[in-house]
Amino acid sequence: MMHWYKMTPLDILMLRDAKPFSPQQRAWAGSVFPPNGHTIAGALRGLLGGGEFDITGPFLSYENTLYLPRPLGFVKSTALVPLKWESKSHINNALWDETQPCPLVKPHNAKDGDDEEEESQNNPLQKCVGNSEAKFRQYLPYEVVKEYLESGRINKENWQAVEGRYEDKPYTIETRSHNSIEPGTKQVKDADGYFVENAIRLHQGWGFAIGIKDKEITTPATIRLGGEGHRVIVESCPELGEQWADLQNISDNNFQQDGKTIAYLVTPGVFERPHTDKHQNRVNLCRPYPWEWKIKDGNFVSMSTEKAVPIGCRIREKETQKNSIPAPQVFAAPPGSLYYLNKPQGLFQDQERLERNGTNKDNRVNNWRKLGYSEMLWIKYQEIGEKENA
């Protein structure tokens, strides 16, 4: 059973990136947003008394409404499709490397950018206050995501950020400098005397949504999250769980359908695999889509993604469980990435147990799923004509 909670920061958050930091090495400490699964699990471990636990998320929430990252396969409000799926496109005669993901194009009967922009200028729903440019949502509320899973499209008006909710950017970045003064002077130290940190401050009403499997927290409670351990209040919020269960039910039904489908990544996707380099050293390589999805098999067609998200954690000593060292970084596909497949295909890391050489063993990479990574929702692909006739 999943128990769902809303986490509301009581202060700014120092969510440092995966780069090792100390004032001696570099003078700027960056922040990432939202916090990754390792950060959330580390913060919750004190409340849950240690041990292993499975989490779903983290996601964003606004006043008990679940928000998910925007799908990346859109130009403004127009959904892109793989060229292989768009036989009537005028680009079909173009040459491209078929060992790589298929190019994405606009549907042949979609309006071009000029028509869409002109229509948005004439539509009061697409205007912001004053003469400022219309703001597109970077995070979509539960109702919009539900419609997307059911119909495979997002209407133009649903891309418009609601005034006052900061759906285009629910946080601000505060830059904070730290100075160390040379004793007996009014001068900053020459060595290690100055560094800068970027802090995250969520706007009013925003917080994080997190689901925890089979373990319950006595709420309200407070935890320390991120660098400097700033406090976050944790409150039970069954509404968030009901919304997620609704989305997951639609997704599961879409996964059972045969035919063209789109996988919508809603948390960072970690897809790593061990390789042997030319010097016979074993290394783990990351890529933006699962290794078991093969282009040459004809099922995996294309993807829409952005810059990788670096994730760094720490490894505890096995003997004492007290000291720790930085673990190797991994690079995750960003939330909102879309994957286009000719039929649904699950993830290898979803399997908790594996049969190998006649023995049943734990699947090591399933640990990424336990920490909330690589969460996908599934959408049944329909062409524009099919959507309109549905």
pTM value? 0.87
Q: Alpha-carbon Rg of the chain, whole angstroms?
A: 23
Phi-psi region of 205 (alpha: psi -120 to 50; beta: other; left: phi over 0): left
pLDDT of 204 reads 94
Q: Are 119 and 78 in contact (CB under 8 A)?
A: no
What was the pLDDT predicted at 23?
A: 53
Contacts with 357 (C-beta within 8 Å, 6 or more apart), sequence order: none
All residues at 6 or more sequence positions from 239 whose CB lies less than 8 Å from its CB, including other chains: 64, 65
3-state SS class at 256 = helix
**Given this model, what pLDDT does residue 118 score?**
46
What's the CA dihedral at 175, 176, 181, 187 to 10 degrees?
30
Q: Which two tokens stand for residue 229?
A: 């351990």
For residue 178, give Cα distances in angstroms to 25, 93, 121, 185, 367: 15, 58, 46, 17, 37
DSSP 102: P
Mean pLDDT, each 10-residue run in order, the chain (390 residues): 94 76 56 87 84 90 97 92 90 88 89 49 44 78 97 93 93 76 57 69 95 91 85 96 98 95 97 84 89 93 94 72 74 96 94 81 90 96 62
Q: How many CA atoms lie within 13 A of 374 on its CB side?
A: 23
